């Protein structure tokens, strides 16, 4: 072999070795993948495939593991009509939602969130468009509650004032009294009982003395009250027994005893002046009881 032939053979050998080794070195250090390389021969492609196959298998295995770690989505799920508001965790799981998605939904509800439409569910970032498309036909939302006829009547009653009526306190029964705003069955019964015990009202403002009639309520009622029948039942102070005197709302048992004993000791009361001479009788009591006393 001549000198020139030897040189040519060495150059050819270097080219062959370089063609086999350089692609491997380039790929290993240049970050390229097998699919990015243009091969010059079928045998070179086969060698590269044999080299890269373990790397591909490892990449696919890692990718699959990461997807499984991120999702934990049930492989089987069941769709059924449901209202998303307050839906139990296990029901969300049956629908195919992941634990992470369910946590986000429950946190949204815990902060006062409510779902009234599909659009509300779309606002929850953990629910994908694919999930919404899947469950959309099964969503059921509560319709806004319509007020019952009774509630409508009650609201109308509260908004529109009652027709102005003038109630005679001395003749009205419980039914008539309940026509007044703020007077129910209990207060109407108390008013009638107090009136009968007194013997009738002689002033409208005596209504203040009924338990449950506040100053504000009286101010509201006053324009609708009157006393046309001023006839009241009077106490025959010189003829009634101690118990009969004590039955009047203005006369306490102690006062009834004092009046009865005074009458026994000093004789009949002739006028209000006789009562004023009693040291235990205060002016306020006399002011209130005077219209109800009869001396003859």
Which pLDDT belongs to residue 79? 87
Q: Write the CATH number for 202.
A: 1.10.150.310
The model's pLDDT over 225-250, given as tens digits with 9 standing for 90+, comes to 999 877 899 999 999 999 999 999 99
Residue numbers of the domain that contains 212 = 167-226
Q: What is the mean pLDDT of the chain?
A: 79
Task: For residue 206, tell me if it sits in a domain.
Answer: yes
The model's pLDDT over 60-119, given as tens digits with 9 standing for 90+, comes to 444 444 334 445 566 677 888 889 998 999 988 988 999 999 999 998 888 888 888 888
Which pLDDT belongs to residue 7? 72
pLDDT greater than 50 at residue 56: no
| 219 and 239 part of one domain | no
Task: For residue 36, tell me if it sits in a domain.
Answer: no
- Cite the DSSP H helix spans in the chain: 3-30, 42-71, 89-94, 99-110, 118-122, 129-135, 149-159, 174-177, 185-198, 215-221, 242-246, 253-266, 272-276, 283-289
Distance from C-alpha of 177 to C-alpha of 168, rounded to nearest angstrom: 9
Task: For residue 115, tell me if it sits in a domain.
Answer: yes
pLDDT band at 40 (very low <50, low <70, confident <90, very high): very low
Task: For residue 42, tell me if it sits in a domain.
Answer: no
| 212 and 247 part of one domain | no
pLDDT greater than 60 at residue 36: no
Domain count, the chain: 3
Q: What is the pTM of this model?
A: 0.45
Task: For residue 251, tell me if it sits in a domain.
Answer: yes
Task: For residue 64, tell me if it sits in a domain.
Answer: no
Task: For residue 262, tell me if it sits in a domain.
Answer: yes
| 239 and 259 part of one domain | yes
Q: Taking residues 192-207, what's their average pLDDT? A: 94
Which pLDDT belongs to residue 53? 53
Q: Let me know: does 77 contact 94? Beta carbons within 8 Å.
A: yes
| 250 and 288 part of one domain | yes
Which pLDDT belongs to residue 199? 93
| 173 and 220 part of one domain | yes
Between 107 and 48, name the one with better pLDDT: 107
| 245 and 285 part of one domain | yes
């Amino acid at each position: 072999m001549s000198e020139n032939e030897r040189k040519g053979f060495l150059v050819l050998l270097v080219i062959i070795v370089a063609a086999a080794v350089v692609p491997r070195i380039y790929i290993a250090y240049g970050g390229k993948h097998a699919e990015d390389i243009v091969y010059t021969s079928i045998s070179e492609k086969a060698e590269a495939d044999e080299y890269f196959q373990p790397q591909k298998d490892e990449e696919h295995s890692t990718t699959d593991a990461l997807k499984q770690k991120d999702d934990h989505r049930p492989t089987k799920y069941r769709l059924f009509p449901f209202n998303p508001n307050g839906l139990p965790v296990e029901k969300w799981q049956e629908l195919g939602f992941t634990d992470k998605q369910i946590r986000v939904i429950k946190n949204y509800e815990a902060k006062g969130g409510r779902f009234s439409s599909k659009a509300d569910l779309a606002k929850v970032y953990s629910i994908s468009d694919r999930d919404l498309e899947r469950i959309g036909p099964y969503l059921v939302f509560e319709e806004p509650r319509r007020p019952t006829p009774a509630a409508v009547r009650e609201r109308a009653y509260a908004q529109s004032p009652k027709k102005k009526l003038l109630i005679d306190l001395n003749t009205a029964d419980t039914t008539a009294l309940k026509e007044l705003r703020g007077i129910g069955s209990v207060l109407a019964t108390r008013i009638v009982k107090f009136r009968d015990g007194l013997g009738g009202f002689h002033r409208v403002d005596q209504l203040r003395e009924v338990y449950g009639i506040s100053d504000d309520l009286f101010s509201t009622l006053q324009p609708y009250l009157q006393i046309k029948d001023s006839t009241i039942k009077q106490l025959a102070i010189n003829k009634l027994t101690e118990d009969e005197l004590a039955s009047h709302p203005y006369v306490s048992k102690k006062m009834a005893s004092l009046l009865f004993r005074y009458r026994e000791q000093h004789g009949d009361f002739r006028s209000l002046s006789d009562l004023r001479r009693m040291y235990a009788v205060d002016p306020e009591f006399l002011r209130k009881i005077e219209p109800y006393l009869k001396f003859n």
